[in-house]
Amino acid sequence: AQSVTQLGSHVSVSEGALVLLRCNYSSSVPPYLFWYVQYPNQGLQLLLKYTSAATLVKGINGFEAEFKKSETSFHLTKPSAHMSDAAEYFCAVSDFRGSARQLTFGSGTQLTVLP
Amino acid sequence: NAGVTQTPKFRILKIGQSMTLQCTQDMNHNYMYWYRQDPGMGLKLIYYSVGAGITDKGEVPNGYNVSRSTTEDFPLRLELAAPSQTSVYFCASSYGTGDTEAFFGQGTRLTVV
């Protein structure tokens, strides 16, 4: 089964600073990779996904992620943090188990944006 | 467009009690999922369904049951609640699998005391 590792359970950045959230996956085949965001007391919302069409993927709210096969990484970045970016971020991989593909989530990274 | 709706939002159960968490979606999605979210653990898949009448176990199915009698509804049943089932539960649905987006409900926060 594939797995996802998110380095850093908590990340703090100043408003206007670069956001970098790290995600590494284990997979023997090209995977489908996702970043989801969870705002307080809400469900998860898709930020972006990698499906092999392009290695640099752009998502909503100015986020993007780059798929690097040699590093088995899919790190999430945003050039300039905004206060509204404060949330928990989950990296996920789509893995075929049982009768269908299933999402396997990382443990999450809580992003704090300091004024 | 309501998307995925979960009820209740909060619930406190006593050990040994039972309850059903309701989930309904109005997007005509074939695939539906139940996850639990525990602090620092991400989301773990409990059960999923690939269509009406078809369900299968996920990673952590013990202590739970599901049914899928219609495309829209996917209730999760807790029998004999235990403190280890204290968690936030999310229902999700998707049109397909692989690279398709999963849509999540707002969650049910369950405490077993």
pLDDT at A46: 94
Chain-chain contact of B48 with A102 (C-beta, under 8 angstroms): yes
* B105 interfacial to chain A (CB closer than 8 Å): yes
Are the Cβ atoms of B97 and A94 closer than 8 angstroms? Answer: yes
What confidence tier does B25 reach under pLDDT thresholds 50, 70, 90?
very high
pLDDT on residue B8: 96
Is the model's pLDDT at A115 over the cut of 90? yes
Computed over every residue of chain B, the mean pLDDT equals: 94
> Pick from B51, B106, B55, B102: which is nearest to A102 by CA?
B102
Report the pLDDT value the prediction gives residue A84, as an integer from 0 to 100: 96
Q: Are A54 and A24 in contact (CB under 8 A)?
A: no
Tell me which chain A residue has its CA closest to the CA of residue B5. A43
| Mean pLDDT value across residues A90-101 | 80
Indicate whether A83 pLDDT > 70.
yes
- Give start and end residues of each alpha helix (H) in B1-113: none
Q: How does pLDDT run across B57-94, given as a tens digit for each residue? A: 999 999 999 999 999 999 999 999 999 999 999 999 99
Portion of chain A with pLDDT greater than 70, in percent: 94
Which residues in chain B are contacts of A100 at CB distance < 8 A? Answer: 31, 48, 50, 56, 97
- Mutate one of A90, A102, A107, A110 to test the B interface: name it (highest B CB count within 10 A): A102
User: CA B34 to CA B40: how far, in whole Å?
Assistant: 18
Nearest CA in chain B to A7: B40
Contact list in B for residue A98 (CB cut-off 8 A) is: 48, 56-58
In chain A, the percentage of residues whose pLDDT exceeds 90 is 70
Contact between A102 and B33 using a beta-carbon 8 Å cutoff: yes
Confidence of residue B103 (pLDDT cuts 50, 70, 90): very high
